[in-house]
Amino acid sequence: MYVEEDWSGGSICGGLPSDLFTNTSTQGAITFNSHYQGFTLDDGYNPNDGNSHDYVMRKNYEIIGLDGGESFYVKDDGTGDGANDLDVSNNWTFEAWIYVKNYTSGNYDCIMDRRTVFSFYLIDDDKDYAIAFAARDGSDNIIAYMDCDGTGSTSADMQFNNWYHVAATYDGSTAKLYVNGTEMDSDTDTDWNLTSSTNALNIGGRYWGSYSRQMESAYLDEIRISNIARTTSELHYNKTDNAYMVDDHTILLMHLDDEGDPPTYLSGTGYNGTKGDDGITAIDYIDATEESDFLPFPVELTSFTTNVSGSNIQLNWQTATEINNYGFEIQRATENYDWQKIGFVEGAGNSNSPEEYSFSDKLVKSGKYYYRLKQIDLNGSYKYSNTVEVIIGAPEKFELSQNYPNPFNPTTNITYVIARSEATRQSHELSVKLTVYDILGRKVATLVNKKQAPGNYSVQFDASKLSSGIYFYTLRAGEFTDTKKMILMK
């Protein structure tokens, strides 16, 4: 699954491609080109391009599909010399990514199995299915057991047609079972010191004289066996985690990207056992770069549009699925690409159904603006959406709005609109003055006294040093004049 990435393709942050936008009108919805649909990593990765990368499940080369008639294995040479030894005894981790499309109750399909040592398999659940990990003795009896079906353990609520990272670990004192990095069950039985054996390790099924309990409708990927108990920080259970690298504790690591027949593996301990399979051929490998339906992004953005209403810009976006989504930081830039945070919208966290979001950017002056979303995961990692462009035209009508709040104490906001006029067409700016008077007509404050271009403006009036009563504020802009009343109530 993991490959090296050439990040030379550049970043959306470094400039805006000319074909990014499908519409730059000042009316209606503006959407970005579908070639850039979705989130991009801030280092330039585009999920729709043809480049490889080293992020778990982001885009994959190959996964292996099993339909009840295939499995594969690795086997010791039986010498016990360590180099070709799968025995892990009292420190171990078994893990894989699984995608189950269907499970027949009572079949106990095996993710991994080593006769007289352990079984890692599917079990019944009140949802679609659950997983269990069992230690076995020399007579193949179960002597220690963990699961995630909610009966004396935490329920993982595992559903068909979803990817899950599953792992079992043992550190010499406590065995633990994980689904997507969350501990589901634990046990301190000493029988988790797994027995030694020369039996093969079977993946996708089991072999007890003949093949059985083969996964009937599932995909497998990223299989790793270690001779230590991996910590949760070492379990790459998020689809955006970095690639596994072989280290001194990696007995076996299968990326499955080379379409091996039988599947090949890497090792950091020098393991060099025999590999084989039952029925695996090139046709069982799936080109996952073309199967995005079952390799979704952690947060899958399906639309990002804008609607312009006067000086207000409404941003709307929708996600199809979400995993560990903390939320969205909304960013805006001018033509200088000076990105600034202007708001934040909390995410749904985890969701398998569409979620809709919106954000309103108010009182934007006339000009050209760019917007993007910074999607932030619960672990602090983040990705950027692509960019939409909005053009706000100059207003056609002068306007002085009623202050808000009113009555107020001690501050209030006054908004006004400077429209296009013959004067602004010639000089692009107009002399503007906003003045406050008391009920006797005495000037008590000058809030604005400068030239301003056509656009929408807002200013705050602080009356903390004034007495309660009625006040008036007057806007003068070229030939336009308007006055409104406000009430200070302390």
- Which of 292, 308, 327 finishes a domain? 292
Q: How far apart are CA 447 and CA 400, in angstroms?
A: 14
Residue 197 lies in a domain: yes
Q: Which of 347, 369, 392 is the last residue of a domain?
A: 392
Task: Based on the fold, state whether residues 261 and 281 are members of the same structural domain.
Answer: yes
Domain count, the chain: 3
Residues 165 and 249 occupy one common structural domain? yes
Contact 390, 306 (CB under 8 A): yes
Band (pLDDT 50/70/90 cuts) for residue 46 is: very low
| 91 vs 24, more confident | 91
Answer yes or no: do 92 and 222 share one domain.
Answer: yes
Is 226 among the domain residues? yes
Buried b (16+ CB within 10 A) or exposed e, 54-81: bbbbbbbbbbbbbebebbbbbbbeeeee
Q: Looking at the structure, do residues 137 and 248 belong to the same domain, yes or no?
A: yes
Within a domain: residue 1? no
Whether residue 6 is contained in a domain is answered as no
Residue from 445, 453, 454 nearest 414 by CA = 445
Q: Are 22 and 165 found together in one domain?
A: no
Residue 247 pLDDT: 93
Q: Which residue has the higher pLDDT, 11 or 177?
A: 177
Q: Which residues contact 371 (CB under 8 A, 6 or more apart)?
A: 306, 313, 315, 330, 331, 332, 333, 361, 387, 388, 390
According to the model, what pLDDT value does residue 79 have? 61
Domain assignment present for residue 3? The answer is no
Measured CA to CA, the distance from residue 157 to residue 186 in angstroms comes to: 17
pLDDT range class, residue 108, cuts 50, 70, 90: very high
| Structural domain containing residue 37 | 15-51+296-392
User: With 80 as the cut, is the pLDDT of residue 83 above it?
Assistant: no
The answer, yes or no, to whether residue 14 has pLDDT greater than 80, is no
Task: Report in angstroms the alpha-carbon separations of 343 from 317, 325, 368.
Answer: 14, 16, 19
Residues 322 and 222 both lie in one domain: no
Average pLDDT, the chain: 81
7 within some domain: no
The torsion angles phi and psi of 388, rounded to 5 degrees, stand at -115, 150
pLDDT tens-digit profile of 335-370?
Answer: 777 788 999 999 998 887 889 999 999 866 777 888
Closest Cα to residue 379, out of 341, 329, 323?
323
- Same-domain check for residues 270 and 217: yes
pTM of structure: 0.53
* 200 and 306 part of one domain: no
**Per-residue pLDDT, 198:** 87
Average pLDDT over residues 432-436: 96
Q: CB burial class (10 A; 0-12, 13-18, 19+) of residue 245?
A: exposed
Domain boundary among 232, 263, 292: 292
Q: Report pLDDT for 353.
A: 82
Average pLDDT over residues 265-281: 89
CA gap 137, 126 in Å, rounded: 29
The span from the CA of 316 to the CA of 2, in Å, is 34
User: Of the ranges 90-104, 302-316, 403-417, which one carries the lowest mean pLDDT score?
Assistant: 302-316
DSSP string, 339-371: -EEEEEEEEEEEESS-EEEEEEE-SPPSEEEEE
Share of the chain above pLDDT 90, in %: 47
